[in-house]
Amino acid sequence: MTAIIRPTTADDVAALQALVGAVALERRYLGATQPFTLQQTRDYLAHVEAGGGVALVAVSGERLVGWTDILPGPFEGLTHYGRLGMGVAADARGQGIGPALLQAALRLGFERFQRIELEVFASNTRAHRLYLRLGFVEEGRRRAARLIDGQADDILMMGMLREEWTKTQT
Ligand SMILES: CC(C)(COP(=O)(O)OP(=O)(O)OC[C@H]1O[C@@H](n2cnc3c(N)ncnc32)[C@H](O)[C@@H]1OP(=O)(O)O)[C@@H](O)C(=O)NCCC(=O)NCCS
């Protein structure tokens, strides 16, 4: 499957809401386990845009198959960093769409942010490996921070600084 990566637009809201919702319902990868509403999706995108963040989608043909966003930190003193989230449709994984989305988001994100951070469940080895491969550093581990369906999971905190990203690009 080939996909193009482009900025998210208002026309993507319904497809984005459906895709994020489907990944949330998988219960394994995102903090959320229920879909967000269309209005929450709209509000979130507006929030990302207002803060100068990044919102990209991967589109294959007519179909939205992936997303990523980088949301600026919330208060003065914290707006130099952004928090990254992403996902790819279940049947589109393992084909390089995630790496392409992440690479594009980091390229844009580091024009604006000095630091990009994220959290990933330790059990999510695919995402964890991808983040390590693109240059994220593990900065901490919140032990047994998620407890779902009787299973405890650690949450890994990862971050990358602009100068670290720049080095990977030379
Ligand atoms: C994580 C995710 C974004 C990666 O995107 P993707 O398009 O599937 O990425 P790839 O196909 O290149 O796979 C990424 C890496 O994982 C590896 N991989 C694939 N399947 C794997 C598996 N079952 N276990 C471990 N690694 C695996 C790939 O080989 C690749 O590693 P490599 O480049 O070193 O060879 C995507 O799988 C996804 O959306 N997962 C569910 C949502 C999610 O986890 N979001 C992130 C929350 S923090």
| CATH number of the domain where residue 31 is located | 3.40.630.30
pLDDT digit string, tens, across residues 42-63: 999 999 999 999 999 999 999 9
What is the structure's pLDDT at 1? 83
Query: Which residue's C-alpha comes closest to atom 42 of ligand 1?
Result: 87
Evaluate whether 85 touches 69 at the Cβ level (below 8 Å). yes
What's the gap between Cα 154 and its chain centre? 18
Evaluate whether 105 touches 68 at the Cβ level (below 8 Å). yes
pTM: 0.94
Token digits of residue 34: 């229920």
Q: Measured in angstroms, how far is the CA atom of residue 93 from the centroid of ligand 1? A: 7
Which ligand 1 atom minimizes the distance to the CA of 125? 25
Tokens 């998210």 -> residue: 8
pLDDT digit string, tens, across residues 140-155: 999 999 999 999 999 9
- Which residues does 43 contact at the CB level (< 8 Å), separation at least 6? none
Task: In whole angstroms, give the CA distance from residue 97 to residue 94.
Answer: 8
- Backbone phi and psi for residue 88, each to the nearest 5 degrees, phi listed first: -130, 145
Q: Measured in angstroms, how far is the CA atom of residue 123 from the centroid of ligand 1? A: 12
**Candidate of 83, 130, 132 to mutate for ligand 1, largest count of ligand atoms within 8 Å of Cβ:** 130
Token digits of residue 155: 């949450």
What is the structure's pLDDT at 144? 98
* Amino acid at site 1: M
Query: Which residue's C-alpha comes closest to atom 22 of ligand 1?
Result: 126
Domain count of the fold of the chain: 1
pLDDT digit string, tens, across residues 67-113: 999 999 999 999 999 999 999 999 999 999 999 999 999 999 999 99
Q: Measured in angstroms, how far is the CA atom of residue 129 from the centroid of ligand 1? A: 7
Range of the domain at 119: 4-168
95 SS3 class: coil
Residues with CB under 6 A from ligand 1: 23, 29, 86-88, 93-99, 120, 124-127, 129-130, 133
